[in-house]
A and B are shown apart, each in its own frame.
Chain A
Amino acid sequence: MRIMKWFKPVSLQDLAFAFQRLTGFILAMYLILHLAFLSTLSDPLTYESLIAITVSPTFLPLDSLLVLCGIYHGLNGIRVIIHELGYLHEHRKALLVICAILTVIAWLYATWVMYEVV
């Protein structure tokens, strides 16, 4: 398949692109699921039973991964937007590193919040 070439990077830069695409796709799929899921709000009972599953400890790691996708996609998205507006191409490596560090921090924080609260 030719589209597999999207995921055969030669440098960190296009590795970041591959992940942006992957996470974007995952998030979009999740969005569809999410909306379908929320449709059950019309029936409180089904909703409550489903939500009980999603906040269960088995589901939390998955949720946390999803959040990682979201955070990576968002922060990397900001990085891409900066470049797409024509800025900071000379510092692209530094930006990538900063972006990666922020992603990890934000993700650890988010995971902590999720486990803490539930």
Chain B
Amino acid sequence: MEFRIRRFDGENSFWQSYEVPTKKGMTVLECLYYIRDNLDSTLSFRASCRMGICGSCAVKINGKPKLACETQVSELKNPIVVEPLDNFKVLKDLVVDFEGFFAKHKMVKPFIVRDDIDYNSPVELIQTPKELAKYYNYSLCIKCGACVSVCPAAATSEDYLGPAALVAAYRFCADSRDKDCKDRIEIISSERGVWRCHSAMACSEVCPKKIEPAKAVQLLRRKAIIHSIKKLFRW
């Protein structure tokens, strides 16, 4: 099969084609490794777990963001066009800059806040399976960036927190062990927060973990609006 890869060497962007002998069961990631090992070792890309859990290998394959390690070549049309993710700055070839992405994740306070935790003598907190189910799906985000790469709001607004960070925010707000969602709500309710989302829902369409980030954003929006109304009436 022919692989057409959009490359970038730090200064110039160009297309390059490679012919890869593919077999049944081969993934796009394996082909990338084949190219690197045998055809052109200057090709850079990120990958690690090759089982769809580390979130390193998201790239644009035939126009849609996908995990290279989970994508079978047999399901794709020849030639296979591989590009770096949109809405991120390209560092080299298929490698894009995730610094801002993780900074935004950190910004939403993605951790449990409560004041009765004793580091030295922890006690078991009770959480029923039902309470667990409320947020569990949203804790599955592998931070691959696919959602951000297709979000039209993120495309034009660099500082929009973006679906992935908002998923993290919702995941903690919905956790029964968390005791102070208010701070987090204030953050996601800023003009860079949920209000920039216009329900394009491309994020939900491409999420490889089927997390429905769009839903998390809207549920957060609901929390934010209730919070604002309460604040208005000082209640």
Contacts and interface: CB of A to CB of B under 8 A. Distances in A.
B175 interface: no
B215 to A, nearest CB: 4
Given A3-B156, A6-B152, A85-B218, A13 B204 contact: yes
Contacts of B4: none
Nearest to A88: B215
Contacts of A21: 198
B79 interface: no
A10 B215 contact: no
Contact of A89 (B155, B156, B206, B218): B218
Given A10-B206, A83-B218, A86-B222, A5 B86 contact: yes
A47 B200 CA distance: 41
Contacts of A6: 152, 155-156
Contacts of B152: 5-6, 14, 17-18
B205 A89 contact: no
A85 B63 contact: no
Interface string A6-46: 10011101100110110000000000000000000000000
A10 B156 contact: no
A116 interface: no
B202 A9 contact: yes
A17 B198 contact: yes
Nearest to A3: B156
Contacts of B64: 10
Interface string B35-46: 000000000000
Nearest to B155: A5
B202 A13 contact: yes
Contact of B218 (A2, A17, A84, A90): A84
A60 B205 CA distance: 38
A85 B222 contact: yes
A83 B199 CA distance: 7
Q: Range of interface residues on chain A?
A: 20 to 34
A84 B216 CA distance: 10
Contact of A10 (B150, B199, B212, B222): B150
A93 to B, nearest CB: 9
B219 interface: yes
Given A9-B202, A85-B222, A92-B204, A14 B150 contact: yes
A80 interface: yes
A19 to B, nearest CB: 11
Interface in B212-227: 212, 214-215, 218-219, 221-222
B201 interface: yes
A15 to B, nearest CB: 9
Contacts of B206: 10-11
Given A17-B200, A89-B215, A10 B63 contact: yes
A70 to B, nearest CB: 19
6 contacts: A6-B152, A6-B155, A17-B198, A85-B218, A86-B219, A92-B204
Interface of B: 63-65, 86-87, 150, 152, 155-156, 198-202, 204-206, 212, 214-215, 218-219, 221-222
Interface of A: 2-3, 5-6, 9-11, 13-14, 17-18, 20-21, 80, 83-86, 89-90, 92
Nearest 3 CB-CB pairings of A with B: A17-B200, A5-B155, A14-B202
